[in-house]
Amino acid sequence: MSELLSVILFLASVAIYALKAGRNLFWFISILVVLGLFIILNATLYASNYFTGDGINDSVLYTLTSSLTGAGIGKYILPGIGLIVALVVIFALLSWVLRLRKQRPHHFGYSLLALILALLSIKTTPAFQQVSDLVISQTSSGETDFDAHYKVPHPTIAHPKMNLVYIYGESLERTYFNEKAFPGLAPELSEIKNEKAIDFSHTEQLPGTDYTIAGMVASQCGIPLFAPFEGNASASVSSFFPQNICLGDILKNSGYDNYFMQGADLRFAGKDIFLRSHGFEHLYGSQELKGLVDDPEYRNNWGYYDDTVMDEVWQKYVELSKQNKRFALFTLTVDTHHPDGFISRTCEHKSYSYDGAPNQSFSAVACSQEHVAKLINRIMASPYFKNTIIVLSSDHLAMNNTAWKYLNQQQRENLFLIIRGDKPQQERIDVKRSSLDNGATVLDLLGGDNYIGLGRSSLSSQSLSSVFLNLKEKINQWKPNVIRLWNFPKTIKNYTIDQQKGTFSFSGTHFKLPLLIRVSDNKVEPLPEGEYSAPLRFLLATFAADDKFLWIDRCYKMARLWAPALSTSADWCVSQGQLGGEPTVMHISDQQYKGKVAFKPVPLDDERFKQNVDTLKILDNDIRYQADSFIFNVPGAPQSVKQFTGISRTENWGRWSNANLAPEVNIQYAAPLPERFDLVITAKAFGPNAHRPIPVRVGHQQQTLELGDAVSTTTLHFTNPDNADTLVIAPPAPQLSDLDNIIGQDPRKLGIGMVNIKVVPTSDTP
């Protein structure tokens, strides 16, 4: 109802302004901005619902502010392009409609009425309500009874006996095993569930547990994943719930070697950070599996197929079992990922039809469960099974996939099965529970406590799902309490920089470098540099003249403003101060540097503030530094260079040539090059460009350069009778590559990797 009302108000606002208000630039812009916000909010709701099926929720907020590295975006490109095109068309059409009667004299009353209706259209749209609810849930005070229900387990298991294999089935909810609704969909796993496992049949999904990383946190730490988004803080922390004791911590403390293996990239959504924060030392994702799998090219949009990963898990299980040491081996499938999953080449169940037509999501489930069942059966048939407990659970309920509408016609529950090697048994346990209880149940079975956080063992305790009439509502009320478990500090006095780990730490909290921190009274606002966002200096340029800041970054990014001697250094530096004053820059030489935050009172100067902001905003390629060579691992170029093309972004070691930007590397100097000079090039070649002649031209003179895969230095001798001012390097075979490519950008066409180029004048005497 509210959605219909908001659309009616939107159309009424457009009609009144277009037909009655007349022409006025201020009111036109105001109405266009407010109506544009209505469109963007609803587009965001539509896009979010496409992924989650539940609109704009915590999973959307967390995913957008966390690492997107390794995201399988291939299936979303066309819908994304379609949405962008639709928004452009809608905005153009809206602008045209609002100016239909632009020749009429302006009418203040109609303009005001149109603006009020536009604001009401935003207020009544479900998108605004969902965003408002998220903001309110982040800022409320929480509930006083949280501590009474949150329990900290003992950090060890007194006498551990069993090894653990824990399988997360991506979106593999229990609903798929409803034989009446979906006959024959999962025959292999259904047999295991019905004949060989303890089946917990009533596992509900709670807020903050409804996406992969959240489901993992819930099942191992007994808490929903609610993160402190103020200042985008959660995107930069290098630990998850650092004060919490989770299942992985207890296993590690009890002598277990913890392993995690999946086909997708570990960095996506910060899974690697969570696992390393809580007891996992051996992690394998798509990057780590490249050198292990038989066919590195056999993969889908997200990573390696489930048949590949389950085989690797089996091999690791056998290897670890033979070592006769305690271990916990966790894994996560990927083939059932929304929107429609992936079908591996080795499964027998490649197609499943529903409503008279093949359904890709159901087919992916039928295929993936076959590989999971094969792994379980292999373990059960091995001589090591008697010392093993196998757990199979869904990470969360399926999101908006091609089976979504059929799933929603059923009572939806998460999957949670336990198969005991020491005491094989089949049992169905119908108690009401949630995925928060998974870790506590496993811990109980291994001989530890029967509680973790808000989770309780379903074997010997009562779940909070049974204690509270509506635990979902209670979890939302506890959200601020959960956020406080991050122990996010409000003040900063002392800090530590660990260069080896790439972290900045204060008050027991660790952040990834680089980092910008806005400091005010009783508030510390970390502002990390996102993988796909602009450098921190552009964010700093938005600070007010009197805003106090602490900026930890590569020296060259700040030194050209306040420490010119470090303007070509790629080491770490710390700057602190105010843009209207004179910030200091400290070079970090120690591997572990301990510093203090001290802002001295300084007079603020408007001219100095403007100069600092203007310098911070200079684009990378327009930066110029004082040096006698072109140093490629810092942005910009030496002052002797006028402009350059065909060169990719700065990386820690240097820069690649990129034929997508220009077919050749072209460096134009501000003055003609010397009549005679040596060109000293430190570089390496990419792919087929290695060990092939690479033409290097200055005017009509040409030499050839030959490079290998490793960095080397070559000196070429040039004469320049034409007084040419341009150096051209032409890699013979630029090749498309996703090497260290940024998500959302086209693959680069790489030729050579440049570290340093220096022009050295020589004597006129031959």
| Tokens linked to 172 | 């593999």
Q: For 598-631, give one letter per residue: b (16+ CB within 10 A) or e.
A: eeeeeeeeeebbeebbeebebeeeebbbebeebb
What pLDDT score was predicted for residue 501?
Answer: 85
CA dihedral 679, 685, 689, 693 (to 10 degrees): 20
User: CA–CA separation, 595 vs 246, rounded Å?
Assistant: 32
Residues paired with 183 in a beta bridge: none
pLDDT, mean of residues 640-646: 96
Residue with tokens 């009197």: 546
Q: What is the pLDDT of residues 238-261, one digit of tens each?
A: 567 888 999 999 999 999 999 999
Give the model's pLDDT for residue 75: 65
SS3 track for 271-309: HHHHHHHCCCCEEECHHHHCCCCCCCCCECCCEECHHHH
**Residue 142, Ramachandran bin (φ over 0: left; ψ between -120 and 50: alpha; else beta):** left
DSSP 4: H
**What confidence tens digit (pLDDT) does each residue in 413-428 have?**
999 999 999 988 999 9
> Is the pLDDT at 79 greater than 90, yes or no?
no
314: its two tokens: 């089996």
Q: Looking at the predicted structure, is the pLDDT value of residue 558 above 60?
A: yes
How many separate helices (H) and strands (E) can be counted in the chain?
Answer: 22, 36
Single out the residue of 110, 80, 86 nearest to residue 98, CA to CA: 110
Residue 67: is its pLDDT beyond 60?
A: no
Which residue carries 């006028």 as its tokens?
642
CB 352 within 8 A of CB 362: yes
Burial of 405: CB neighbours in 10 Å, binned 0-12, 13-18, 19+: exposed
Among candidates 648, 640, 596, 599, which has minimal Cα distance to 621? 648
Q: Residue 394 belongs to what H/E stretch?
A: strand 388-394
Question: What is the structure's pLDDT at 533?
Answer: 59
493: pLDDT strictly greater than 70: yes
User: pLDDT exceeding 70 applies to what percent of the chain?
Assistant: 93
pLDDT-based confidence at 231, cuts 50/70/90? very low
Say what the pLDDT of residue 238 is.
59
By the 8 A CB rule, do 454 and 464 touch?
yes
pLDDT digits (tens, 9 = 90+) for 131-142: 887 777 766 777
Q: Residue 354 pLDDT more than 60?
A: yes
pLDDT at position 234: 46
Give tens-digit pLDDT for 305-314. 999 999 999 9
Spatial contact of 90 and 96, defined as CB atoms under 8 Å apart: no
Containing 441, the helix (H) or strand (E) segment is helix 438-446
What is the pLDDT, as a whole number, of residue 631? 96
Which CA distances in Å does 598 have to 29, 578, 609, 686? 44, 12, 20, 47
What lies within 8 Å, CB to CB, of 88 at 6+ separation is none
Rounded distance, CA 69 to CA 304, Å? 15
Poorest-confidence range of 40-49, 178-187, 309-318?
A: 40-49
The residue behind tokens 């003609």 is 672
Mean pLDDT of the chain: 89
Q: What is residue 237's predicted lDDT score, i.e. its pLDDT?
A: 57
What does the pLDDT look like over 603-638, one tens digit per residue? 899 999 999 999 999 988 999 999 999 999 999 999
Please list the alpha-helical segments (H only) found in 618-718.
Answer: none
Phi/psi class of residue 150: alpha, beta or left (left: φ > 0; alpha: ψ in -120 to 50)? beta
Task: Average the pLDDT over each of 21-30, 160-169, 325-334 and give the range with the smallest value.
Answer: 21-30
Q: Which amino acid is at 576?
A: Q
Give the span between the Cα atoms of 213 and 595, in whole angstroms. 34
Q: Which two tokens stand for residue 619?
A: 């684009």
HSE-up of residue 762 (Cα within 13 Å, Cβ side): 15
Which stretch of 56-60, 493-497, 528-532, 580-584 has the lowest confidence by average pLDDT? 528-532
Could you tell me the domains of the chain?
Answer: 2-139 (no CATH), 146-484 (3.40.720.10), 494-618 (no CATH), 624-761 (2.60.120.1360)
Residue 235 has pLDDT above 50, yes or no: no
d(CA 314, CA 291): 17
pLDDT at 146: 94
**Bond into 603 cis (ω within 30):** no
* pLDDT in the model for residue 487: 74
Average pLDDT over residues 97-110: 78
Task: Report the 3 state secondary structure along 540-601.
Answer: HCCCCCCCEEEEEEEHHHHHHHHCHHHCCCCCEEEEEEECCCCCEEEECCCCEEEEECCCCC
Mean pLDDT of 434-440: 98
